[in-house]
Amino acid sequence: MRIESLDAMYASSSPMIQIEEGYADWLDYKGMGELKARAEELDGRTYPHREALASILRTQQAEYGPLSEAMERKLEAFANGDAYTMVTGQQVGVFGGPLFAVYKLLTVLKRAKQAEAVLNKPVLPIFWMATEDHDYAEINHVFVPQPMSRQFRKETLSVVPLAGKASVGELEFDRLKIELVQMLQRMLLAETETVHTPSLYRELVDVLQQSHSFAQFFGKMMRRFVGQEFLLFDPHQKEVRTLGQTAFGRLIKGHDEVKQAFLQAYEPGMPEVELNREAAHVFYHDGTRELLTKEGDVFTTKRGHRFTEVELLAEIEAHPERFSNNVVSRPLMQDYLFPTLAYVAGPGEIAYWLQLRPLFHVFGWKMPILLPRLGAVLLSSNDEKKLRQEGVDLAEYLATPLPDHAFDDAAFDEQLYSYRTLAAAVGKEAGRHGHRFESSAKQLLERLADEMRAEAKREQYRLNDRRIHLSTRLVPMNAPQERIWSMVPMLNRHGLDLFKRLFRAYETSEIERCLVKL
């Protein structure tokens, strides 16, 4: 495995590039160079719930698989107030979700190690699993390539009760296991069988059978195929909500100030993102999940729940499990729970985090360092060979993917003109010996012409097969590889230790937009 720089992955206007060059005015800290300043700020804050949070983390890790001894020691240091954290997160997509989810995890692992070297203190890499999210459609599918086609089929799980209404952490999982095994089989049937296929299938079925929630399935996959040097965090638990009571209360009591700051957060030049600036940024759970909105002096939901501020604060105190964060307040809750040096983000997250800075200031905090995740293209030797045969390099191909060769009937007929002239002469000469000879000669020559056309089309197919291969592997569905492909096909092609090997190569590299040659 070899890693090379691939700046062509993203356009210059992408938040993945601009976070390093163009967004400085909207950040409190500019990258890893300001780790010490961020650490000093965190040292001035108090985290009285550290020990309780460490206990929750220990209990949760038992659901996903054992930690390394080094990670256990870091968790103990965290409980004793002598460690920082770095955080990333993503929805808990089936079979690990898109590749960029595992790239986020690899990035937070690398950055945490770098921070430890600078600060001489333990730094815990944490993957925040978005189990509070209610968008079932974000996690219930994979994409499978179709034979001899650039098209992919979206393999989707059945709808389960409350899907789209309740948080994914509350949805039934066990009833989907047979469907998930069938989905796995279809994913592997679309792949060329390798020496890794049988063991991969067995391990994934085993992981699936041991899982009883989307979070467990996701977490067990990451633990098995990435390693033991990170923590997986599931916020959708009563114990976590109890620790977050104070933060929920501050969001409610400070609603008007938060709203005013958020309404003024957008500045010209920022990426445009659609965010609800009117809401209280807290969900209320009563069978389904409902966003709270303040109307006058009353907090309401669409289904008719109504609370005064005093009543709502009392409800938070009595039933913290009935409350959760939305996309705006989740980063604030993260910073309240964890002494967060930095957050590792993808392009969409970077775009909306820029507008959250004033909200951190309302709470009396600064926004954590915002770091772009690893971007990568995995390139096999076969992919590389086909690019050479097409006479393009990867950067050129990503900029302008090659279309299919079209079969030009008119051009082929023109090529056959001299042949048909000869065929007519042969037919005429054969006719001098009888009509049946002329007819036989014409049939024979037409059949030969048809065979020539068929061979030309077969050659066209061979050329297109190469281009279809490159399209599906490198720009599937005209999208980045990391957004469509999942972990499973890559593990099948390159081995069950692929992402562990990738991390070993990546952690010693200064490259963040990577061409990974396999």
**448-457 pLDDT tens trace:** 767 776 676 6
Mean pLDDT, the chain, whole residue set = 92
- Residue 317, pLDDT score: 97
Q: Do 28 and 364 touch, CB atoms closer than 8 A?
A: no
Q: Are strands 84-90 and 340-345 parallel, antiparallel or unpaired?
A: parallel
37-41, 289-293, 351-355, 422-426: which range is least confident on average? 422-426
Length of the chain: 518
Rg (CA), the chain: 29
In this prediction the pTM is 0.91
379 backbone φψ class: left, alpha, beta (φ>0; ψ -120 to 50): beta
Q: What is the pLDDT of residues 92-102, one digit of tens each?
A: 999 999 999 99
Task: Record the tokens describing residue 513, joined without a space.
Answer: 């937009």
Q: Do 274 and 355 touch, CB atoms closer than 8 A?
A: no
Tell me the three state secondary structure of residue 306.
strand
Q: What is the pLDDT of residues 38-80, one digit of tens each?
A: 999 999 999 999 999 999 999 999 999 999 999 999 999 999 9
Is 440's pLDDT higher than 80? Answer: no
Is 439's pLDDT higher than 70? Answer: no
Q: What is the pLDDT of residues 463-501, one digit of tens each?
A: 789 999 999 999 999 999 999 999 999 999 999 999 999
Residue 89 dihedral angles phi and psi, to the nearest 5°: -175, 170
Task: Give the residue-averaged pLDDT of 287-300.
Answer: 92
Give the C-alpha separation, 455 to 312, whole Å. Answer: 75
Give the C-alpha separation, 402 to 390, whole Å. Answer: 9
- Residue 417, pLDDT score: 60
Higher pLDDT, 230 or 417: 230
Task: Give the residue-averaged pLDDT of 445-449.
Answer: 71
Is 365's pLDDT higher than 70? Answer: yes
94-98, 231-235, 249-253, 287-291: which range is least confident on average? 287-291
Is 444's pLDDT higher than 70? Answer: no
- Residue 274, pLDDT score: 86
Task: Give the residue-averaged pLDDT of 204-218.
Answer: 98
- Model confidence at 158, in pLDDT bands (50, 70, 90)? very high
- Residue 478, pLDDT score: 96
Ordered by start, the domain boundaries in the chain are 1-247+254-277+325-401+480-518, 405-474
Report how far apart the first and last C-alpha atoms of the chain are (Å, whole number). 5
- Residue 476, pLDDT score: 98
Task: Record the tokens describing residue 29, joined without a space.
Answer: 């800290």
- Model confidence at 161, in pLDDT bands (50, 70, 90)? confident
Is 438's pLDDT higher than 60? Answer: no
H-helix segments, 255-356: 255-263, 309-318, 330-337, 347-353
Q: Are strands 288-295 and 298-300 parallel, antiparallel or unpaired?
A: antiparallel
- Residue 428, pLDDT score: 66
- Residue 416, pLDDT score: 64
CA-based angle 122:127:130, to the nearest 5? 150
Task: Give the residue-averaged pLDDT of 227-251.
Answer: 97
Q: Do 184 and 209 touch, CB atoms closer than 8 A?
A: no
Q: What share of the chain has pLDDT > 70, as a percent?
A: 91
- Model confidence at 164, in pLDDT bands (50, 70, 90)? confident
Q: Which amino acid is at 251?
A: L
Q: What is the pLDDT of residues 272-281, one digit of tens each?
A: 888 888 899 9
DSSP symbols for 182-243: HHHHHHHHTSPP-TTHHHHHHHHHHHHHH--SHHHHHHHHHHHHT-SSSEEE---SHHHHHH
Is 14's pLDDT higher than 90? Answer: yes
- Residue 95, pLDDT score: 99
Tell me the three state secondary structure of residue 276.
coil
- Residue 198, pLDDT score: 98
